[in-house]
């Protein structure tokens, strides 16, 4: 069994991305927690996309007035 980090906050956000370049539309659909050994992730998704690609990114610092990423 692989353990995740003890931090409850996810280390990454999961997005489905449709389109390319400046026309790409990013929708956040979940979160990821890095394993303690750094060799994998646990994912929690709120939906499964039928199109597009999944992208896992570290969250960006939130700017004043913006929701957290």
| Tokens matching residue 51 | 């199109």
Q: Which of 7-11, 23-27, 56-60 has the lowest mean pLDDT?
A: 7-11
More confident of the two residues 67 and 29: 29
- Please give the pLDDT value at position 3: 52
- Please give the pLDDT value at position 57: 95
Percentage of the chain surpassing pLDDT 70?
80
H-helix or E-strand spanning residue 57: strand 53-57
In which band, very low, low, confident or very high, does the pLDDT at 5 lie, cut at 50, 70 and 90? very low
| Contact by Cβ (8 Å): 62, 6 | no
């Amino acid at each position: 069994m692989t353990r995740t980090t003890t931090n409850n906050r996810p280390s990454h956000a999961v997005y489905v991305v449709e389109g390319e370049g400046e026309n790409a539309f990013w929708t956040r659909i979940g979160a990821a927690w890095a394993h303690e050994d750094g060799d994998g992730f646990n994912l929690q998704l709120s939906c499964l996309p039928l199109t597009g690609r999944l992208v896992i990114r570290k969250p960006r610092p939130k700017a004043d007035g913006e929701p957290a990423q």
